[in-house]
Amino acid sequence: MKPIRERTHYELLEVLPTATVDDIRAAYERLERPPSDEQVGASGLAEMASRQALHERRKEAIEVLCDADRRAAYDRTLPVNGLAEQPTAMVPRRADEGRESRAPISPPPPARDSKLKMVAVPPDAAFNGELLKKIRQAKGINLQQLAEKTRIGVKHLENVEADKFDALPATVYLRGILMNLCKELGLDGIKVSRQYLERVEASRAKD
């Protein structure tokens, strides 16, 4: 785990760069719940100091990420692979801005198609990128539609389906991507993300 000072604001709050302000505030409240009496009693001086430092960094993080202008400026300082492909999309835009250049949104497939195209997933199936791709295709959803629904960059989705582990973002971001992906595909996000992340960590350990 990274030292506290080296973590990004998103890592400190355990959210994706595409998280909404409400998601960020909910994460902050969850992480900043007061410790129980037992936890306080069992804490040493070093742990208490670390907890205080983490509190200060999270406080700074939520102040930045809940302000659209400061968040946009902060996102521009982060590595490309630490963000969704279009971080500036989080900044509110005028209704008429970029209307001509905006790509048309693909309509969702007819309901009857999704009923006809089904994939039987065995209970003991090992989830990998290829299986996730087959399930998506069976439901009649293309990558662009999935990206629009989940707010995940198309390139990240392509890398997940291709099992390009070395091109995927950090674990804290990848877990969120997988959970959002499974929500749209009607899969058990906890099970799928656990299996997929095990494969990712095994691959990275070899490197």
Residue with tokens 């070899």: 206
Residues 86 and 140 in one domain: no
Residues 71 and 116 in one domain: no
Q: What is the pLDDT of residue 76?
A: 86
The string of pLDDT tens digits covering residues 3-23 is 888 889 888 888 888 889 888
Structure tokens at 186: 């009607």
Residue 36 in any domain: the answer is: yes
Q: Is the pLDDT assigned to residue 195 strictly greater than 50?
A: yes
Residue 102 in any domain: the answer is: no
Q: What is the pLDDT of residue 156?
A: 93
Which CATH number do you get for residue 65?
1.10.287.110
pTM of the complete model: 0.46
The string of pLDDT tens digits covering residues 71-129 is 888 888 887 544 444 433 444 455 555 554 455 565 555 444 433 345 667 777 889 99
The mean of the pLDDT values for the chain is 79
Residues 62 and 141 in one domain: no
Q: Are 163 and 131 in contact (CB under 8 A)?
A: no
Rounded Cα–Cα distance for residues 110 and 88 (Å): 32
Torsion of CA 60, 12, 25, 29, to 10 degrees: -100
The mean per-residue pLDDT over the stretch 162-169 comes to 92
- N-term to C-term CA, the chain: 18
The closest alpha carbon to 75, from 94, 89, 93, 55, belongs to 89
Cite the DSSP H helix spans in 32-142: 37-42, 45-65, 68-75, 111-116, 129-138
Residue with tokens 């089904």: 118
Rounded Cα–Cα distance for residues 92 and 155 (Å): 23
Q: What is the pLDDT of residue 94?
A: 53
In which domain, by residue range, is 155 found?
A: 111-206
pLDDT band at 45 (very low <50, low <70, confident <90, very high): low
Q: What is the pLDDT of residue 35?
A: 66
Residues 120 and 167 in one domain: yes
